[in-house]
Amino acid sequence: MDYDSLKTTQDDVVRDGAGFEAYRQPGDLIDSGHPEIVAYARRVAGTGGDKERAQRLYYAVRDDLRYDPYNTPMKRDAYRASTTLVSGHGYCVNKAGVMAAVCRAAGIAARVGYADVRNHMTTKRLADLMGSDVFYYHGYTDVWLDGRWVKATPAFNRELTEKFGLKPLDWDAVGDSIYHPFDLSGRRHMEYLAYRGVFADIPFDEIRGAFRHYYPRMTRAQEEMPLGGDFGAEGAAEAKPK
């Protein structure tokens, strides 16, 4: 597939042909009917209007799930919202899926969208693994509020932004929550380059294929990673003297 041909300047291209009702229903990976998702949404969203409840869900997903770009295996089950919620960590793609799932579980329509962004504040290790400073298929969530789609990006937890010297990405459920262009010191942070469309469910096969194309080294490592287990505990065990 020519993945570069899928880029667009528009942020609302419906790539999968889904109708609006699909944004309210469970999907395979955005499994909003899963008991863990339903219980979390019920506990966090609380009462009030859709904006108030969506805002509570946003901050919970942002900060309860640690941003971790290393430890999501490139396997379909690892991208399921309930799996990500239970694991307690994820990165932009699967955290956006969690946000969509808990919104749907709370009766708020939501979908996922993707963009290519240049991250000027990545780490050396991650840049070496990726071979690039462009994050292809950066994931965010579109939430239906007051008759329009509003972007929410619950990727970086507050603790992480403090360590990196970044502004926490807040959301008032009125305007779009997208990455800040600059950090707290005025250095360039994120630059949006192109969009990849919106979907009712995470397009795992397309994302996996794109990552194989753009990030061959990192994706090989992710595909060999076992699903489940404690990556840190495994590393500590292997480091012990034999």
The model's confidence at residue 85, banded by pLDDT at 50, 70 and 90, is very high
The CA distance from 163 to 168, in Å, is: 11
The model's confidence at residue 162, banded by pLDDT at 50, 70 and 90, is confident
Per-residue b or e along 46-65, where b marks 16 or more CB atoms closer than 10 Å to that residue's CB = eeeebbebbbbbbbbbbbbb
Question: pLDDT digits over 21-68, tens only?
Answer: 999 999 999 999 999 999 999 999 999 999 999 999 999 999 999 999
Q: What is the set of domains in the chain, with CATH numbers?
A: 9-227 (3.10.620.30)
Number of Cβ within a 10 Å radius of residue 96: 31
The CA distance from 163 to 218, in Å, is: 24
**Pairing mode, strands 89-90 and 66-67:** parallel
Question: Can you tell me whether residue 139 is helix, strand or coil?
Answer: strand
Place of tokens 């950066």: 138
Question: What is the per-residue pLDDT for 236?
Answer: 35
pTM above 0.85, yes or no: yes
